[in-house]
Amino acid sequence: MHISAWKEALKNAGVSDEGMIEKLLDDGCSSEQIARRLGAPGETPGDPAARKREIFSREFKADGRLFAGVPALVKKLYLRGYGLAIATTHSSGLLKAVLDREGIACFFSAVLEAPLVKKKIVDKKTLERTFGEKNIPLDNSVYVGDSSSDIRFADVLGMPCILVRGHYRDPDAPKNADLIINEIDDLADLFRSRRAGMEAGAEIVRGRIRALAGTGDKTVIGVSGGTASGKGHLCSALAGEVLSLDGYYRDKEELDGMGLDFYEPGAQRLDCAVGDIRKWLEGKEVQVPVYDIKKYRRSGYRVIGKGSILIVEGLFGLMPPVLELVDYGVFVDSPEETRLNRKIDRGISEGRGRAAGRTRERFRDIVRPMHIKYIEPQKGNADFIIENPAFPA
């Protein structure tokens, strides 16, 4: 909690010496230490825990808040494929109420009460049992905290600990921390986009989409990757309306006149795609174009419904201007040789009239350099990366 909130909670509990509160905060005292040393009139000596629970309960119920940036960070880490759990030494019910109010409770697999025994000795067996019951893998987890007690928990559990010290004044906290960062936002740079194979990755993405759908907000999922990487295969395994950017290709006559190839962003009317996505976000029914790849022209339209999830799939799904509307980005990463072989097989099976030798030549001269220039950089915009060396495209 913010220091001003601590001070207000202590004053509400009957601790009114604001000057002394400030001094003790400067000395690094925690809220419970202040409550114990400046106890409210009539407080029973030796029972600081009861006073601490009362203070925490009142503060959470009245105005419990997370640090600025925490809700956005939690969502970002969850979408990047990380499992999240949160532990508190206080009431899990009160903490859940705060998470619900912030709209991020759905991103946590567990909200745990981490019990302590007397003299602040960590109850290792209880902690291990509690985490184990929630299927939290301690050997593949990182503990993020902001005080010396968090470091103690992490040490007992055998987990590396990252200390966020930007908001608290705990002089003992830096001791024994594996890593110290100044602000909560710095965590985003430490936990980059995760990777997984097609089957496992599709399951993770499905779970993230279910969570996003549960928020009640309209959500745009962007799926990008090289040609024949497996974007369509992934989308077929996901739940949601699919808007293919292929439908926005210009007719071949127009492309030839502009000197553009299919693998350049200008080959698609991405501004029109953005307009249709915005209409969908406004709750409108949208007619999106359908492109006939054999005739190289638009063949008609189809209707996108008013659901809560829209999957935007295409070569340029994670680059501007589409990127600005994407809430969750997935990049399908497939080796070049694999994509080439799929292109050859696709040309034969779909009767596109292109011999294997011509496909290889075009891939070498056009597809590969365009991929390096336009497609590969989109990987850095993805929240999650699916590696697809062998599955269908």
Helix (H) or strand (E) holding 237: none
18-26 and 3-12 are packed helices; what angle lies between their axes, rounded to 10 degrees?
140
Give the pLDDT of residue 43: 42
Between 44-53, 81-90, 248-257, 322-331, the lowest mean confidence (pLDDT) is in 44-53
Lowest mean pLDDT among 85-94, 330-339, 344-353: 344-353
Q: Which long-range contacts (CB under 8 A, 24 or more apart) does 280-283 make?
A: 280/218, 280/241, 280/243, 280/304, 280/306, 280/310, 281/218, 281/220, 281/325, 283/218
pLDDT of residue 41: 43
Query: Confidence band (pLDDT; 50, 70, 90) for 289?
Result: very high
Confidence at 288, pLDDT banded by 50, 70, 90: very high
CA distance 220 to 329: 9
The CA-CA-CA angle for residues 76, 78, 79, to 5°, reads 65
Worst-scoring range by mean pLDDT, 110-114, 153-157, 358-362? 110-114
Residues ≥6 apart with Cβ < 8 Å to 388: 197, 198, 225, 229, 230, 233, 234, 332, 333, 334, 338
pLDDT score for 112: 77
pLDDT digit string (tens) for 292-308? 988 888 899 999 988 89
pLDDT averaged over the chain? 80
> Can you list the pairs that 340-347 forms with residues at least 24 positions away whose Cβ atoms lie under 8 Å?
340/228, 342/228, 342/392, 342/393, 343/227, 343/228, 343/367, 346/228, 346/393
Q: How far, CA to CA in Å, does 1 sit from each of 66, 69, 75, 98, 158?
A: 7, 13, 20, 12, 27
Pick from 12-26, 172-186, 367-381: least confident? 12-26
Q: Give the model's pLDDT for residue 117.
A: 39
Using an 8 Å Cβ cutoff, are 251 and 215 in contact?
no
**pLDDT at 329 (0 to 100):** 95
Query: Of the ranges 68-72, 74-78, 167-171, 324-328, which one carries the lowest mean pLDDT score?
Result: 167-171
Kindly tell me if the per-residue pLDDT of 81 is higher than 70: yes
Identify the weakest region by mean pLDDT among 55-69, 132-146, 187-201, 348-362: 55-69
pLDDT computed for residue 18 by the predictor: 61
Q: What's the pLDDT band for 339 if we cut at 50, 70, 90?
A: very high
Paired residues of 163 in beta bridges: 145, 180
- 163 HSE (CA, 13 A, CB side): 23
Query: Both tokens of residue 314?
Result: 């295409």
d(CA 387, CA 385): 6
The alpha-carbon radius of gyration of the chain (Å, integer) is: 27
Spatial contact of 229 and 334, defined as CB atoms under 8 Å apart: yes
- CB within 8 A of 63, min separation 6: which ones? 5
Mean pLDDT, residues 74-91 taken together? 83
Report d(CA 128, CA 119) in Å as an integer: 19
Averaged pLDDT, 366-387: 95
pLDDT in tens, 159-214: 898 888 765 555 655 667 888 888 878 888 888 888 889 989 999 999 888 888 87
Task: Kindly report the three-state secondary structure assignment for every residue of 17-50.
Answer: CHHHHHHHHHCCCCHHHHHHHCCCCCCCCCCHHH
What is the structure's pLDDT at 62?
Answer: 46
Tell the residue number behind the tokens 């309306």, with chain if given. Answer: 241
* Residue scoring higher pLDDT (254 or 81): 254
Confidence of residue 133 (pLDDT cuts 50, 70, 90): confident
pLDDT at 44: 41
Binned at pLDDT 50, 70 and 90, residue 1 comes out as very low
pLDDT of residue 338: 92
Contact 304, 284 (CB under 8 A): no
pLDDT beyond 70 at 264 = yes
Residues sharing a CB contact under 8 Å with residue 152, sequence separation 6 or more, in sequence order: 120, 122
| Beta carbons of 64 and 94 less than 8 angstroms apart | yes
With 0-12 / 13-18 / 19 or more C-beta atoms within 10 angstroms meaning exposed / middle / buried, residue 305 is exposed
Mean pLDDT highest for which of 24-28, 94-98, 148-152, 225-229?
A: 225-229
Whether 30 shows a pLDDT value over 50: the answer reads yes
- pLDDT over threshold 50, residue 71: yes
pLDDT band of 45, cuts 50, 70, 90? very low
pLDDT of residue 378: 96
